[in-house]
């Protein structure tokens, strides 16, 4: 059952997110501050019932209807210049493709179901490193794709459920990720700070993994890989649905 506190937990999270990320340098929240620790604690306590969301009931639909249903939907909760917050709901078997968060911090907390999350980071071009365009890929890149290849490293990979703590990304660590629903539908609360804003260089870019580089990164000691920037995949789109939880003001 949802809590009956006078101030809802989601309101407390919104207020704490604002003070945590206000005037936060885009270089990151990598070193945990007292404010960030408080936000993580609040997020760790949030439950699906607190937002009045629940896994969808099984409904039989035809294949033609299924193709018109978005694999992912989003419930908008609030947005300011400092942060945005909402809930992503993934259908069974749905995925959010590999994408980035330029200059942004983020926190993700699963509300129900399970998701696999793989996080990547782009690598700086180091002196003497193999040129992106010199690398031979199978299948070969098209001539116009050479400038869209990026050296990267798989930073982390793991499964998250409602019992897990928040998954955290910063501008410098775990900034690219892909999210797959596992064994059924899933939902997670998502905070991004600052929000996406194409006019200020914070547009969302999509990538696919080409192949591993077969060597360790000199910067991190982790396995290198190669990413190709691509258009938004045709089989992914995000619909919208109303947020049914407690009202939030910031």
- Average pLDDT score over residue span 77-89: 97
Parent domain of 14: 9-240
Task: Tell whether 202 is covered by a domain.
Answer: yes
Give the CATH number for residue 44: 2.60.120.10
Task: Tell whether 183 is covered by a domain.
Answer: yes
pTM of the predicted structure, to 2 decimals: 0.85
- Give the pLDDT score at 128: 41
What's the pLDDT band for 127 if we cut at 50, 70, 90? very low
pLDDT per position as a tens digit, 23-72: 776 544 545 688 999 999 999 999 999 999 999 887 544 454 556 789 99
Query: Which helix (H) or strand (E) element contains residue 218?
Result: none
- Please write down the long-range contacts of 159-163, taking CB distance under 8 Å and 24 or more positions apart: 159/114, 159/115, 159/116, 159/117, 160/108, 160/110, 160/114, 160/115, 160/116, 160/117, 160/188, 161/110, 161/113, 161/114, 162/47, 162/48, 162/110, 162/111, 162/112, 162/113
Task: Tell whether 15 is covered by a domain.
Answer: yes
- Contact predicate 75/86, CB 8 Å: yes
Task: Tell whether 4 is covered by a domain.
Answer: no
- Give the pLDDT score at 120: 94
- Average pLDDT score over residue span 122-145: 61
Task: Tell whether 1 is covered by a domain.
Answer: no
Task: Tell whether 114 is covered by a domain.
Answer: yes
Considering its fold, how many domains does the chain have in total?
1
Neighbours of 88 (CB within 10 A): 20
Task: Tell whether 248 is covered by a domain.
Answer: no
- Contact predicate 125/147, CB 8 Å: no
Cis link prior to 194 (omega < 30° from 0)? yes
Which of 74-78, 139-143, 159-163, 214-218 shows the lowest mean pLDDT across its residues? 214-218
- Give the pLDDT score at 51: 98
Task: Tell whether 135 is covered by a domain.
Answer: yes
Cα R_g (the chain), whole angstroms? 19
Neighbours of 40 (CB within 10 A): 17
- Average pLDDT score over residue span 217-226: 68
């Amino acid at each position: 059952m949802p809590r009956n506190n006078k101030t809802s937990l989601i309101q407390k999270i919104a207020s704490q997110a604002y003070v945590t990320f206000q005037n936060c340098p885009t270089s990151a929240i990598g070193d945990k501050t007292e404010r960030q620790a408080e936000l993580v604690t609040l997020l760790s306590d949030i439950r699906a019932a607190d937002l009045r969301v629940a896994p969808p009931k099984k409904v039989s639909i035809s294949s033609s209807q299924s193709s018109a249903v978005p694999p992912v939907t989003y419930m908008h909760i609030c947005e300011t210049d400092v942060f945005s917050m909402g809930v992503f709901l993934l259908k069974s078997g749905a995925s959010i493709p590999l994408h980035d968060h330029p200059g942004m911090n983020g926190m993700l907390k699963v509300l129900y179901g399970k998701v696999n999350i793989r996080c990547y980071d782009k690598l700086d071009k180091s002196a003497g490193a193999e040129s992106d365009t010199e690398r031979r890929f199978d299948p070969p890149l098209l001539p116009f794709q050479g400038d869209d290849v990026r050296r990267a490293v798989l930073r982390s990979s793991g499964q998250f459920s409602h019992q897990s703590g928040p998954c955290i990304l910063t501008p410098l660590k775990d900034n690219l990720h892909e999210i797959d629903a596992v064994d059924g539908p899933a939902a997670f609360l998502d905070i991004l700070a600052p929000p996406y804003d194409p006019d200020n260089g914070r547009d969302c870019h999509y990538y696919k993994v080409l192949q591993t580089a077969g060597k360790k990164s000199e910067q991190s000691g982790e396995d290198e890989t190669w990413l190709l920037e691509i258009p938004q995949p045709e089989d992914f789109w995000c619909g919208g649905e109303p947020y049914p939880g407690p009202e939030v003001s910031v």
